[in-house]
Structure 1
Amino acid sequence: MLKNDLILRAARGEKTERTPVWLMRQAGRILPEYRAVRNSLSGFKELVETPELAAEVTIQPVDILGVDAAIIFSDILVIPEAMGLTYEMVEKKGPHFPKTVETVNDIQALKVADPTDLSYVYEAISITKKELNGRVPVIGFAGAPWTIFSYMIEGGGSKTFSKARRLLYEDPKMADQLLEMITQSTIGYLKNQIKAGADMLQIFDSWAGVLPPKHYSRFSLKYISQICDAIDEVPITVFAKGAWWALPELANVNCRTVGLDWNMNPKEVKSILTGKTLQGNLDPCALYGSEATIKEATKQMLEDFEGHPYIANLGHGVYPDTDPNKVKYFIECVKELSSH
């Protein structure tokens, strides 16, 4: 039995006694406790692939920051890895794929991921679930197919994502072939996260904002919709960073919650997404401010979302050099200012 199910009730659109709060990237570099675990290992991937340790760092922010949910410590790039395209995590640079997808032959060399290849993630979820013992819900997640596709084509992050975007014009059929494989891989993966104990799911479309609206509908939302349609066991959140123009279309996607980045205006979004719970959207840089600044920004945010089912969060992941005490203060402000 969950002792704190605020976030699940908010996701279902029910009234809650206060606003639930958690943070994207809450398990990680901001916490010295995380760095201690991470520094004892060969690198990021070893941490992701060691269930006991992944569970430990998943639970840290619940203990230290007082958030209302634990999000499993993993990475969106475990999917391409399970499909046959391995990645490395380069210190201070981010992900790198030594080999990328350039031709149809490269796609044929891949496979739809066998969910059992990702058993270390499910094991981390079940250990987390057991150790939390109902204190807060566990959030599972995956990357949106377009965002995963971008990494597989580009080989890493990019300022323009021009290789990935170019393919949509040059060979849309090839793009669809790869997107469909990623989508099928993701559905199996998320279903197994639910079996392992995930109480809700989030789909991260980090590179949504680089596409023109028509391409976003055609090559991203279409596949996100397929995933949401295939899963009805738990509430799903879709976070499409930068895709403010896609909000009216997101109203028709089969998800319970829509995450907003800090450039989106909650007052406008409330009228577009009347049937959805909203999540977000404080600028992560606000947490560099003084306590008075943080409190004022949090108050303003809560007022902007007032009267609508809502989960407090940042408009993107918390930045690694943010003072954990400021993060904790933000969480305390949400709790204090939203209690009825």
Structure 2
Amino acid sequence: MEITVGVGAGARHLGVDRVVDLGPLHPSAHGAYRLRLTVRDDAVITAAEPLVGHLHRGAEKLFEVRDYRQVLTLANRHDWLAAFCNELAVALAVERMTGMDVPARAQTLRAVLCELNRIMAHLVFLAPLTGPAAARGREAVQAVLEEASGGRIHFMFNRIGGLREDVPAGWTDRVRAALSTVDTGEVPGGLAGIGVLSRESALAYGVTGPIGRASGVDFDLRRDDPLPGYRGLDVTPVVRAEGDALARVRCLVDEVRQSVRLVERCLDVLPGGPVNVRLPKAIKAPEGSVYTRVEAPLGTSGVHLASRGEKTPWRLKLRTPSFNNVQALSALLPGTAVDDLPAVLGSFAVVVGDIDK
């Protein structure tokens, strides 16, 4: 629409707002999604609408025709940067419904592997912003995850009742060595004051994880609803109040450093013993329902499992962090200059497979 400021001879014509479709993108956005932007003549965004649904994955319906061992394989993949945490959320749901007692060593190793997964994921998003040091640290952490699980991306290391197998001999020493090389790089300038997401908007959209904590949302399941492996670690969430691009990047940087410390503390108290329990040939969750959640790298990853006592779930609903988080772009982008858009989007971490579930 045309915009005119003032009346009579002093009126100024500001031109016509333009609607620009950004995307659907794939290589730089961890999946295909579109942003429909309304841009003024002075190259400032006045409205933004994230448009998702290009993948049409249908994972939640696929869960319903697979047994619980097969479900773990699919759950692994909806956020391919948080594969271990995704597996864990589903395994926890079945374990709680069946009353399984997971061995202490498996519980502690799950915390170790979740934090290694968090470091790896955060460094993927930081590398384009902070430089090659972050990429080198990610490679070191990914190498020890691969050594333990056999997979670089899709780890498939959780099992209902624990882990697939124990970690290799000497692995904990190699983890410590890898952590000593982790470097987040230098936070770039020019991020302060752009792409601001208020605390009120973050709460309204259900934004969690480092994006929410960068806007003052003091919520972290590792403290507020800890899994057994996290109890006693005294996790203090990294929270900032500014809500801008700089705050989001600094939250990622500080959380990487925090995760390094948490892994080292877990390794210091790692107990011996088995890492899994003997399972029946067919796992059947009793009739009923349960909700479990974990603190994944990008926020709260939840699973609502409803069972009719069969070996396949009657319903398995995912609460994925990126699905909520990406909606906040409609509140965050208005007022952003087009020149600042790459930096703002770079600070806003989402994985599109986690949206199109």
TM-score > 0.5, shorter chain as reference: no
TM-score range for the pair, normalised by the shorter chain length:
under 0.3
TM (normalized to structure 1)? 0.26
Larger Rg: 2
TM (normalized to structure 2)? 0.25
| Structure number having the greater helix percentage | 1
